[in-house]
A and B are shown apart, each in its own frame.
Chain A
Amino acid sequence: MSYLPFVLAAWIFLVGIFGIVRSRHFIHLVVSLSLTQSSTYVLLLSIGYVKHGGAPIFKDVPLGTKAVDPVVQALTLTDIVVSVTVAALLLAVAIEAKKHAKTMNPDELRPVRG
């Protein structure tokens, strides 16, 4: 098993975090967050990877056929659902912010300070 997918996952995670830290725009913030989350997909799928393994569908195949791990795929699917929910919620907030506070910069929402 190569280390490359794990390095890639860490890289995407850090790039995403960098994007969030530097973000000055709502849409940019949401995209950065989704990017960070996609690092978890890469990690989970590479954990379940089996060389020459097929899709984990066990209908009409002989017992013992190699397949990738379905558990991490289920985790990834759950994760994608979560990602979409959070992105939708944040984008809804962005619309409200644009409507009421007339800004797309999260820092300008008259934050609570101190």
Chain B
Amino acid sequence: MDVLVPLPVAIPLLSAAALTAFGFWCGRRLDDLVAIVATAATLAVSLLLVFRSSDHELVYWFGGWRPRNGFALGISFVVDPGTAAIATLVATLGLAALIFSWRYFDEVGTLFPVLMLVFVGAMCGFALAGDLFNLFVWFELMSVVAYALTGYGVQHAGPLEGAVNFAVTNSVGSFCILFGIGFLYARTGALNLDQIGAALAGRRADGLVIVAFTLLVGGFMTKAGAVPFHFWLSDAYAVAPVPVCILLAGVMSDLGLHAIGRIYWTVFSDTLSAGDIRPVVVGFGLVTAIVGGLMCFLQRDLKRMLAFATISNIGAVLVGIGLLTRSGLAGSIVFLNTNGLLRSAAFVAIGILVRRFKSGDELDLRGQGRRAPIAGVVFAAAGLALALLPPFGPFLANALVVDSADTLGYGWVPPLLALAAVLSAGTILRAAARIFGGLGEAKDPLFSHEPEESQAEPADSRRVSQLLLWIPAAALAVVGLGLAFIPELAGHALRDAGRLLDRSAHAREVLHGVAPPATPTPSYSPSATAYAYGAASTLGALAFAGFGLYRRRLPIVLRRAAARVADRPVAGLKALHSGVVGDYVAWLTAGVALLGGLVAVMVR
């Protein structure tokens, strides 16, 4: 057993406990420093685990309670390069967020770094947990901390409302997960993922298994923010402080999806056939990607805009996972890491704007961004890469998904994914051009109104050193863009995905300690079709940005016709995002019912 495995959880949690106990006696800077050092150590350990697990899974049984005869009584962490990469992503974003908050907040209590550390530790634990009980515990821990962090600026109405919507919706989602866990335990008497999978393998999927699958996937989709479970997400991310948004939008949403992929392959893959589940999950993913993109276009508040861009990206990742192939899963792993870094970089850029100009509104900031060129470069670079510009990470991930979709005869999926990228990335580019280039018009009635009250952001005019604000932005963008240049990144992702796909080999490795023979890393180069999609969506995003900027210069006839077609659906779509938590929970219930109905119809 590798002693490093529990450290990504232990380091942040222990430092958080120490800070809670002694932090009040130290100065703010010392608290921040402890948190930063702890997160950096977590980052180093997680990165080391990526390399250590490259040949075989690292399975760590707490207290030495190893399974006997395939029966696991103890609890485990299962580390493969994919999960370790997510832990690394969590720590990277946590580090960036803590460095950014050094100068971003003028005043912040000891509890802020404590909560951030617990958040980092809980997310690492969620990524590594190997059984449903712990998955649930870490899920709850990260959720509760996230609610508290979202509502950190309690003196304003916006954060309160966002935190309430977030907490209530996600709690209901977690009850669904708990119901699903209960059903699976009732059927199999096991909580370890691989052991449940072994107990279910080869049996026909009956009603109980379908319900358990539905509740688990529905619950995790709530966390991820897939349509129609997504309503809380835009409310919460729009009001949370920027350093918190870095972690929320960068990785927390994706963790829900990661859990779906992992649970399907280890638990359900020999019971619910991929052919039955695929159309349902891909359908949810595509709707999420498109709706997220459309709503993104309608925003003028930058944080809310990026929240919807997050939803759109989540949809794309969900499609990758939902294809239920090695290539699709590999694509989703690459997507999740690179998109997370790039979105976080964009959030930091927004944070710089908010800190400097006291506004996070696209129209108010028009042209002002010229005085913050680094933020502009970061923002535009993130937008271009998210538009699937070759050869960066999102393009590479999309190439893997395109390959998989074409082989399966899902040829209609890639054009829709490209469309979603055009909508969301085009909007980010539009905002970049308007803010940092001063292009476009100063008013646009189509966009949603900004909430009136000022947000819970620092508001003083004291000039502070900008260096610590720029470093995280630039670093996240560079790492996010640079990931694509790791040699054989796609090949490694494919190999990693292949290991998860072989359920019985995975179970043998976890439960019986029999390591499968090492497989060579496949080599991968994107196909010509993928380059075509990448080029088309990049050009499309630029064109769409231009449309967003100069929409009102189009001929009047064209605009009237567009208004006749689009006005009502647009108004309807906006009205759905009502900000009322009761509506959101009703949608959640309907979404779970729809998901369950579709799965039941497909299986029967």
Contacts and interface: CB of A to CB of B under 8 A. Distances in A.
Contacts of B140: 78, 82
A89 B144 contact: yes
B582 A22 contact: yes
Contacts, number: 141
Most chain B CB inside 10 Å of its own CB: which residue of A29, A71, A93, A101: A93
B186 interface: yes
B151 A93 contact: yes
Interface string A70-114: 011011001100100110011011001100110000110111111
A112 B235 contact: yes
Contacts of B137: 78
A23 B234 CA distance: 21
Interface in B548-601: 574-575, 577-583, 585-586, 589
Interface stretch (A40-48, A51-59, A60-68): A40-48
Given A13-B175, A107-B580, A109-B160, A86 B586 contact: no
A79 B185 CA distance: 16
Interface in A1-35: 9, 13, 17, 20-23, 26, 29, 33
Given A47-B182, A114-B574, A17 B585 contact: yes
A109 B451 CA distance: 11
Contacts of B182: 40, 43-44, 47, 72, 75
A85 B186 CA distance: 27
A44 B182 CA distance: 6
B295 to A, nearest CB: 9
A113 B144 contact: no
B274 interface: no
B448 interface: yes
For the residues of B in contact with A, the DSSP-based class is: helix
A55 to B, nearest CB: 19
B179 A43 contact: yes
B161 A109 contact: yes
B281 interface: no
B164 A37 contact: no
Contacts of A26: 164
A71 B136 CA distance: 14
A86 B146 CA distance: 11
Given A13-B175, A17-B585, A93 B164 contact: yes
A29 B235 CA distance: 18
Nearest to B174: A82
Contacts of A93: 151, 154, 160, 163-164, 167
Interface residues of B, number: 54
A21 B582 contact: yes
Given A111-B580, A112-B238, A114-B577, A89 B147 contact: yes
A101 B235 contact: no
A113 B168 contact: no
B161 A82 contact: no
B185 A71 contact: yes
B238 A40 contact: no
Interface in B172-209: 172, 174-175, 178-179, 181-182, 185-186, 191
Interface string B112-151: 0000000000000000000001001100100010011001
Categorize the interface residue count of chain A: 35 or more
Contact of B448 (A71, A101, A110, A113): A113
Contacts of B108: none
Interface in B283-338: 298, 304
A39 B175 contact: yes
B464 interface: no
A113 to B, nearest CB: 5
A112 B162 contact: yes
A114 B449 contact: yes
Contacts of B181: 75
Given A20-B168, A29-B168, A79 B163 contact: no
Given A72-B182, A90-B164, A109-B164, A17 B579 contact: no
B460 interface: no
Contacts of A9: 179
Nearest to B156: A100
Given A21-B582, A23-B582, A40 B151 contact: no
A112 B157 CA distance: 10
A81 to B, nearest CB: 9
Nearest to A109: B161
A70 to B, nearest CB: 11
A97 B160 contact: yes
A49 B453 CA distance: 52
B158 A112 contact: yes
B504 interface: no
B235 A111 contact: yes
A47 to B, nearest CB: 4
B582 A90 contact: no
A47 B172 contact: no
Contact of B574 (A13, A37, A113): A113
Contacts of A75: 133, 136, 178, 181-182
Contact of B451 (A79, A97, A112): A112
Nearest to B570: A114
Nearest to A92: B154
B171 interface: yes
A13 B449 CA distance: 36
Given A43-B179, A71-B185, A109 B154 contact: no
Given A71-B191, A86-B167, A97-B160, A111 B178 contact: no
B319 to A, nearest CB: 26
Interface of A: 9, 13, 17, 20-23, 26, 29, 33, 36-37, 39-40, 43-44, 47, 71-72, 74-75, 78-79, 82, 85-86, 89-90, 92-93, 96-97, 100-101, 106-107, 109-114
Given A43-B179, A112-B238, A112-B579, 6 more contacts: A21-B582, A40-B182, A44-B182, A47-B186, A79-B178, A86-B147
Interface of B: 133, 136-137, 140, 144, 147-148, 151, 154-158, 160-164, 167-168, 171-172, 174-175, 178-179, 181-182, 185-186, 191, 234-235, 238-239, 298, 304, 448-449, 451-453, 574-575, 577-583, 585-586, 589
21 contacts: A9-B179, A21-B586, A22-B582, A40-B175, A43-B178, A43-B182, A71-B185, A75-B178, A79-B178, A82-B140, A82-B144, A90-B167, A93-B151, A96-B155, A100-B154, A100-B160, A106-B581, A109-B157, A109-B158, A111-B235, A112-B239
